[in-house]
Structure 1
Amino acid sequence: MARQLSFDLPAKTALGREDFFVSPANALAVAMISASSWPGKKMVLSGPAGSGKTHLAHVWAGETGGRIVQAAALGHEDVPDLARGPVAVEDVPDIAGDMEQQKTLFHLHNLVLAEGKALLMTGRLTPNLWHLPLADLQSRIEGAHHVALEPPDDALLCAVLAKLFVDRQLNPRPEVIPYLVKHMDRRFATAAEVVRRLDRVALAEKREITRALAIRVLNDDADAARAGN
């Protein structure tokens, strides 16, 4: 039996449109990302960690020539340059504790729209739960068109797991993904962690990623969860 080769290399995430699997859980978000215009030229994309917000932001940026910036990395001096084209600002709730960065984002919001460009903002929760202390910014965000990435259905979870394995250059046995979909906690973040742990154990033990290994990793997770309660 051929052995799987595994290398301790960082995962390289594929972020093209062809790498994004469309299912009922994300179809609306995909359609809105590809829309020619949004109401008021701004949109908020929300969803849990690993649900595809960053991926869709890159798809949108690739199609529009837009630029992507982390909210926490946004500087006041960046605003005039960024406002010349479409902009995606990721993880906006991360700046809830920084009033100066909120003011910078507020300035960017106003200037981008004044220039007639589009603004995409992302966060894990729905905009009304971002609780940004700068009331003018919070109200404008809540006034943006909003679309949410829903929890994964079976088809989407299968695709997410397959992509996570491919990103790590791993080739699990065919029965591994169906087993994981049936038995794992159905969250995107869990999928990423399970694949990471399978990669680590397979590399350490120089073995294939099999159903037996998947059972062991999930059982270890269950034991750890029980021990923590």
Structure 2
Amino acid sequence: MSDKVMNATKQLPLDLTFRAALGREDFLVAPCNEEAVALLDMWPAWPTVSTVLYGPAGSGKTHLINVWCETSKARVIRGEDLQNENVPTLVEGATAVAVDDADLCPDWEALLHLYNLAKEQGISLLLTAKQPPSRWNIDLRDLDSRLRTAQVGALRAPEEDFMAALLLKQFSDRHLSITPDVLAYLLPRLERSFTAVRDFVTAVDAESLAARRKITVPLAGQVLEMLQSQTKED
């Protein structure tokens, strides 16, 4: 474990920036997400209609959409729910619209319709996906050409230092303490994602309360095994 991570047990936030999300959570800005955050910070002075954030599951895309929607008062819809018939209602009276997992849109015509209406009405459009638009296998030339003009920001899996900060922040939010040996045990074993950190801290908190046990390496290992078993069953 690096010296920087060890210092994280004594002082937050590892030279990272805390940012409010939805008025009750904190979002950490770090090298793995600063490109995407910088694009959102440019709003409402975006030079293009659409902005696309992409990254692997658990990299924070949905969290960033929530942060941006709180700021922009945007309406949000899941890509799998986007249909041609609901586009007019989605943009009516809106100043901004977000589509989470836009690459899962079942009808590219619907996304093209949304893009065109957003451009006509001066509406900002934020899209998220696991891959950049160039890899969405879009078979609609008009949509493909429009999305090539979008601002694109990448999110990567959290680095070790960032994972340490996430764990410390999640434990702190629950008024729990984590010792250096538990942190050192978790970092090489926990999946590097926001989701994995949240699920682990939630589960270990519940198990600690139920068993009236301190959070130790054995308890952490037990909870990790339980979560891994649940994932296999799913």
User: Which bin holds the TM-score, normalised by the shorter protein?
Assistant: 0.7 to 0.9
- Does 2:141 match 1:131? no
Aligned counterparts of 1:94 and 1:208: Cα–Cα separation in 2: 42
Instruction: Go from structure 1 to structure 2 and tell me whether the alpha carbon gap of 1:190 and 1:81 turns closer, same or farther (over 3 Å shift).
Output: same
Q: Under a length normalisation based on structure 1, what TM-score does the superposition of the two structures give?
A: 0.74
Partner of 1:9: none
Distance of 2:64 and 2:196 partners within structure 1: 20
Any conservation in 2 of the 1:173–1:208 contact (CA below 8 Å)?
Answer: no
Match of 1:144 among 144, 150, 169: 150
Residue 111 (structure 2) pairs with residue 85 (structure 1): no
In the alignment, is residue 25 of structure 1 matched against residue 32 of structure 2?
yes
Structure 2 vs 1, CA of residues 208 and 142 (structure 1 numbering), >3 Å: closer, same or farther? Answer: farther
Q: Larger deviation: 184-193 or 144-153?
A: 184-193
Q: Distance in 1 between matches of 2:168 and 2:120?
A: 42
- What is aligned with 1:117? 123
> Aligned residue for 1:65?
73
Deviation readout 1:66-112 (Å, 9 max, x if unpaired): 221111222434322332321111101222xx23xx22221011101
TM-score by length of structure 2 reads 0.73
Q: What is the aligned length?
A: 207
Contact persistence 2:21–2:66 (CA under 8 A) = yes
Tell me what 1:173 maps to. Answer: 178
Structure 1 residue ranges without an equivalent (≥5):
1-13
Q: Determine if contact 2:171/2:178 at 8 Å carries over to the other structure.
A: no
Q: Which has the higher strand share?
A: 2
SS in 2 for 1:87: strand
Offset, 1:30: 1.1
- Distance in 2 between the 1:199 and 1:125 partners? 34
Counterpart Cα distance in 1 of 2:205 and 2:211: 10
Report the Cα offset of residue 146 of structure 1: 0.5
Match of 1:54 in 2: 62
Alpha-carbon distance in 1 for matches of 2:116, 2:72: 19
Structure 1 counterpart of 2:217, from 205, 208, 211: 211
Report SS of the residue matched to 1:34.
helix
Q: Are 1:131 and 1:138, in contact at CA under 8 Å, matched by a contact in 2?
A: no
Shift of 1:197: 4.5
CA distance in 1, matches of 2:111, 2:143: 8
Q: Percent identity?
A: 38
State how far apart, in whole Å, the 2-side matches of 1:82 and 1:114 are.
14
Q: Do the aligned partners of residues 58 and 189 (structure 1) sit closer, same or farther apart at CA in structure 2, a change above 3 Å counting? A: closer
Distance 1:49 1:203 in 2: 29
What is the alpha-carbon root mean square deviation over aligned residues? 3.1
Q: 1:59 to 1:186 in 2, by over 3 A?
A: closer
Instruction: Note closer, same or farther for the CA distance 1:110–1:205 as it changes in structure 2 (3 Å cut).
Output: same
* Separation (CA, whole Å) in 1 of partners of 2:22 and 2:161: 19
